[in-house]
Amino acid sequence: MNRATLSGLDETHDPALKSWVGSANTSVTDFPIQNLPFGIFSTATDRQKRVGVAIGDEILDLQAAFACGALPELPSPVVSACGRDALNELMALDKAQIKALRLALSRALRADAPNTERLASCLVPQHGATMHMPARICNYTDFFTSIHHAQNTGRMIRPNNPLFRNFHTLPVAYHGRASSIRVSGTPCIRPHGQILRDGADAPVYALTEKLDFELELGIFVGQGNALGSPIPIEEAEQRIFGFCLLNDWSSRDVQRWEAQPLGPFLAKSFLTSISPWVITMEALAPFRCAAVERDSEAPALVSNLDSRTNREAGGIDISFEVALRTERMRAQAHEATISRSTFKDQYWTVAQMITHHTENGCCLLPGDLLGSGTVSGPSDQELGSLLELTLDGRQPLSLPSGEVRSYLEDGDEVILTGRCRREGYISIGFGECAGRIVPRAG
């Protein structure tokens, strides 16, 4: 896809733009002026949760910026939404208002912007801030959209028939537990559950011995839909506010016993971690790509999940990395990258997820969260879970520290990162989604 075919580009994506915030102009920052993600933060001296925008190593306090007149006048719904303690009201705005806010922020933060002194007084160093959940999440749905992940895990259970027939016709999903979603940095407490050990006749109630991560992309719903009103695929992307990193922590031994016949439950609901910054749909415009080309032998797409626009530009080119930091590595200030994968390999697009979710009339709400499902690629280095990386523990990972891992041990920390790159544009990142395993007290 060349520049001429990319849609949604405007002056905010100009690679020549620089910011008067110096840290936003480095090649390593996740948050150049071309990104401008939203999050919720507080500080030790002001514990009020409020909306911020990441710019380099700083956070622009939007409530303070509007209060002191440092930002241009915008419609009252926009100003009101920027004064809340969660992003739900901002997510509920129409796309024109969100784009107007993004444009105003871009112009105010550019190196040639006039009167930057007042806006500079509204900056807060990221290292001195506490990040909170970006939205009040009422509903959480986790999808299963990687054909590589589906084939890898399916072969472990059904070697001769790894994919169910419906995988090619719809993006499979289940309803997750919204109450246990937490922001990056929240410890992962090793859960108990019923486990049927190999060779045993009955399950036992015990601590999980197969604690795993799953690398996923989180998708925040913007404007929702009324009950009974499906969202056509042509409109689906207009209902997406933005994206975060998501770790769908999983207890594989619990999952193995409980998942038949209704699928995941307690093996997933003990914790889901997300990164604190929400990268908007608009920021990702330069990194759109074609959807995955379907195999010629695959069944034709059901009509409501197909469109020319989705085929040509429904994908998003995001590169992910998973790092593991053990207690030994932490003492040596090291970590090991154990996986690299790309979102453009997902079999189903975000638009198809939205459309399928609502095709029966199910209503989505601003701030609802969707998980993409594990992001795995075609090679052995592109696997988004230890279940795949170690073949369910049969081939343990050898780490640079001399340690081995079949599954996660207490003290291990998992760090997810994501980045978008495209020649001719400025690279943007997602920050990180991190969590450390801790034993259950008592």
What residues have CB less than 8 Å from 4, skipping those under 6 apart? none
First to last CA, the chain: 56
pLDDT of 442: 63
149 is catalytic: yes
Q: In sequence order, what are the beta bridge partners of 131? A: 41
Integer Cα distance of 347 and 235 in angstroms: 20
CB-side exposure of 95: number of CA atoms within 13 Å?
Answer: 15
Integer Cα distance of 299 and 182 in angstroms: 38
Would you give per-residue pLDDT tens digits along the chain (442 residues)? 444 346 799 999 999 999 999 999 999 999 999 999 999 999 999 999 999 999 999 999 999 999 999 999 999 999 999 999 999 999 999 999 999 999 999 999 999 999 899 999 999 999 999 999 999 999 999 999 999 999 999 999 899 889 999 999 999 999 999 999 999 999 999 999 999 999 999 999 999 999 999 999 999 999 999 999 999 999 999 999 999 999 999 999 999 999 989 999 999 999 999 999 999 999 999 999 999 999 888 999 999 999 999 999 999 999 999 999 999 999 999 999 999 999 999 999 999 999 999 999 999 999 999 999 999 999 999 999 999 999 999 999 999 999 999 999 999 999 999 999 999 999 999 999 999 999 987 6
Given 148, 149, 356, 357, which residue is catalytic? 149
Tell me the two tokens of residue 116: 């930057």
- 56 sits in the region (left: phi over 0; alpha: psi -120 to 50; else beta) called left
pLDDT of 1: 46
pLDDT of 3: 45
Looking at the chain, the number of H-run helices and the number of E-run strands are 12, 26
Instruction: Provide CATH code, domain 140-438.
Output: 3.90.850.10
pLDDT of 338: 98
What residues have CB less than 8 Å from 330, skipping those under 6 apart? 411, 413
Q: In sequence order, what are the beta bridge partners of 206? A: 193
Integer Cα distance of 198 and 107 in angstroms: 62
pLDDT of 115: 85
- Enumerate the domain spans of the chain: 3-132, 140-438
Closest CA to 129 of 250, 323, 278, 276: 276
Integer Cα distance of 158 and 84 in angstroms: 49
Judge whether 326 and 126 are in contact, CB under 8 Å. no
pLDDT of 4: 39
CATH class of 3-132: mainly beta
- pTM beyond 0.75: the answer is yes
Q: CB neighbours (10 Å) of residue 332?
A: 11
pLDDT of 2: 46
